[in-house]
A = this chain, B = another copy of it.
Amino acid sequence: MNSQLQKKDSTKVPEPTLRRLPWYLSNVKLLRKRGERFVSSTQISKEINIDASQIAKDLSYVNISGRTRVGYEIDTLIAVLEDFLGFTNIHKAFLFGVGSLGGALLRDSGLNHFGLEIVAAFDVNPDLVGTALNGIPIYHSDDFEEKMQAYDVNIGVLTVPIEIAQKITDTMVAGGIKAVWNFTPFRIRVPEDIVVQNTSLYAHLAVMFNRLNFNEIR
C-alpha cells in the first residue's frame, strides 16, 4: 500500500458514512447480479431512497472516481468498497462467554465473509471448556493471556453476563485486545485508545417494540 492510499485510509470517516457504505455495497452487488456494469449515485439513490448528493459525498471517502455520464464501474466499486470496509482482510477475534448468544455467533460462519474470524472462545463452564463449537476451540478464561501469545488476535467479542462485562473487558484490554465488539446491554468503560462497537440486540428490540406499540394505538 503506498503512502497516499494509506493516508486516505487513515482519515477518520464519520460513523454514519461507515454505516451507509455497506448499503451501497449490497445494492451494487445486486445490480451486478442483474448484469449491470456501471452505476451512478443517482441510480443507487433511486434504489435505496437516500439523497444522491449524500451518496456521492459518502463515496468520496473511498478511493474511487466515477466517469461522467456512465458513473462508477460496478466491479471496481465492489472491490474498492469491500477493501475499504475491511471485509477482504481477515481480522482474528476471541469470543468471551459461550452462552446462548455467544454460541450462536460461533455458529454463524457468515461473519467470515465480512472479515471476522473467531479463532477461539473462552468460558468458565466445565461442560464447555475443552470442547469445540463449529470447529472453534473453547478454552478456560484463565488461559486467555497464554492464548494471546499463541494467536494473533486484536479483537474481543463480548457476550458474557452483564455482572462480569466490565471485569472481562478489563482483562481483555490488559491482555492486549484493541477492539471490543460488545453484544451485552452493558455500557463498558475502556481506555481512550481502545475501540468499542456496541451491538445491543436488546436495544434494537426496545426501539422496534416501542414503534410497533406507537403505530398500534395511534
Contact = CB atoms under 8 A, between A and B. Distances in A.
Interface stretch (A70-78, A124-132, A140-148, A210-218): A210-218
Contacts of A105: 104
Contacts of A162: 26, 29-30
Contact of A204 (B101, B104, B197): B197
A107 B109 contact: no
A111 interface: yes
B85 A211 contact: no
Interface residues of A, number: 74
Contact of A26 (B21, B155, B185): B185
Contacts of A18: 203, 206-207, 210
A19 B81 CA distance: 29
A151 interface: no
A189 interface: yes
Nearest to A208: B197
Nearest to A216: B178
B212 A179 contact: yes
A100 interface: yes
Nearest to A112: B100
B154 A179 contact: no
A38 to B, nearest CB: 20
A179 B15 CA distance: 26
Interface in A12-39: 12-13, 15, 18-19, 21-23, 25-27, 29-30, 33
